[in-house]
Amino acid sequence: MKYINEVKLNFPAKSANEAFARSAVAAFTMQLDPTISQLADIKTSVSEAVTNSIVHGYKGAGGVIYITVRISDDNVLSVKIRDKGCGIEDIEKAMEPLFTTGGEERAGLGFAVMQSFMDSIKVSSKVGKGTTVTLKKKITKDDP
Amino acid sequence: MLELEFENSVLTAHLSGELDHHSAAVIRKKIDSKAEMLKPKTLKLDYRDVQFMDSSGIGLIMGRYRQMSLMGGNVEVTNVPPHLKRMFSLSGIETLGVMK
Ligand SMILES: Nc1ncnc2c1ncn2[C@@H]1O[C@H](COP(=O)(O)OP(=O)(O)O)[C@@H](O)[C@H]1O
Ligand SMILES: [Mg+2]
């Protein structure tokens, strides 16, 4: 497996950029010729991770979000979303469906969605340093 | 985007376009201020024209469910398009009894 293409995005953690981030990743993914449903899965998952950095990582106070998107020669899309926010104390607990520290309007479903819509998710985090979420999905023709 | 309609104590919110944390915040404020003013018995959330949504679209329902319960009303979610079905079933939102 070898990376054959890569793009990097840095942008301020403003909620107005959520749509930009998922659309940009989707545009880059087009070279793998994904299905509409695969593209929707990727957009939704990126939206979840970026929203988490804005809402939880930076607590709405702003900062920078760093995204690296890569394509490998075996047709795997990898999206790394990183913030330098507050970090996660207990990753396992944070990833439990319905768990949220975000109050009334958060569903606690972001990680569950990423897990279900992508092939794999890796979360690394350090309190006070920030969080990195890496999402992967193989884009194959015969897959729905 | 959002269009609101009020008839026979039913407040209907027609949602359209992309529903994420950014747009949901705007939509929530508009629905809540209308609901506070009109005190509807039922708040209907119509998802027919939602092209994209992340879990903020579920959070919007859960939040309105709480708001309406406090006011003694109820919430109904209608016309969920096929491409959003997976998100809805993953969320377990059916257990609230709001899906129509
Ligand atoms: N980037 C992040 N930085 C800090 N905490 C995070 C981050 N992402 C997720 N979390 C924590 O994990 C919890 C669960 O996230 P998620 O499943 O997306 O649900 P929600 O966003 O609705 O709370 C959040 O409430 C928060 O406590
Ligand atoms: Mg989330």
Nearest to B55 among A19, A54, A110 (CB): A110
One DSSP character per residue, A20-69 reads HHHHHHHHHHGGG---HHHHHHHHHHHHHHHHHIIIIISTTS--EEEEEE
Binning pLDDT at 50, 70 and 90, where does residue A140 land?
Answer: confident
State the total domains in chain A. 1
CATH number (domain holding residue B67): 3.30.750.24
d(CA A26, CA A34): 9
In-domain check, residue A113: yes
Question: What proportions of chain A, in percent to the nearest 5, are helix, strand and coil?
Answer: 35, 30, 35
Cα-Cα-Cα-Cα dihedral of B28, B33, B34, B35, to 10°?
80
- pLDDT tens, residue order, chain B (100 aa): 999 999 999 999 999 999 999 999 999 999 999 999 999 999 999 999 999 999 999 999 999 999 999 999 999 999 999 999 999 999 999 999 999 9
Residues with CB under 6 A from ligand 1: A 48, 52-53, 56-57, 83, 85-88, 94, 99-102, 106-111, 131
What's the domain range around A24?
Answer: 3-138
CA B29-A11-A123 angle, 5° bins: 85
The two tokens of residue A115 are 């897990």
Which residue among A51, A52, A53, A81 is best mutated to probe the pocket of ligand 1, counting the most ligand atoms within 8 A of its Cβ? A52
Q: What number is the ipTM of this complex?
A: 0.96
- The model carries a pTM of 0.97
**A96 three-class SS:** coil
Contact (Cβ atoms closer than 8 angstroms) between residue B42 and residue B74:
yes
Residue A17 has pLDDT above 80, yes or no: yes
Contact (Cβ atoms closer than 8 angstroms) between residue B23 and residue B64:
no
Residue A125: CA count within 13 A, CB half-sphere: 23
Contact (Cβ atoms closer than 8 angstroms) between residue A77 and residue A137:
yes
Single out the residue of A52, A62, A50, A51 nearest to residue A13, CA to CA. A62
What's the domain range around B81?
Answer: 2-96
B38 C-alpha to center of ligand 1: Å? Answer: 35
Residue A128 has pLDDT above 90, yes or no: yes
Mean pLDDT of A2-12: 97
Residue A2: other Cβ atoms inside 10 A: 6
| Catalytic, out of A48, A92, A104, A105 | A48
Give the chain B residue nearest A47 (alpha carbons).
Answer: B54
Nearest bound ligand to the CA of residue A131: 1
Give Dmax over CA atoms of chain A in angstroms. Answer: 43
Instruction: Quote the pLDDT of residue A142.
Output: 63
Mean pLDDT of A55-60: 96
In-domain check, residue A143: no
Contact (Cβ atoms closer than 8 angstroms) between residue B45 and residue B76:
yes
d(CA B46, CA B7): 15
In-domain check, residue A144: no
State the total domains in chain B. 1
CATH number (domain holding residue A132): 3.30.565.10
Instruction: Quote the pLDDT of residue A100.
Output: 96
A17 carries an active-site annotation: no
d(CA A60, CA B8): 39
Residue A14 has pLDDT above 70, yes or no: yes
Residue A143 has pLDDT above 60, yes or no: no
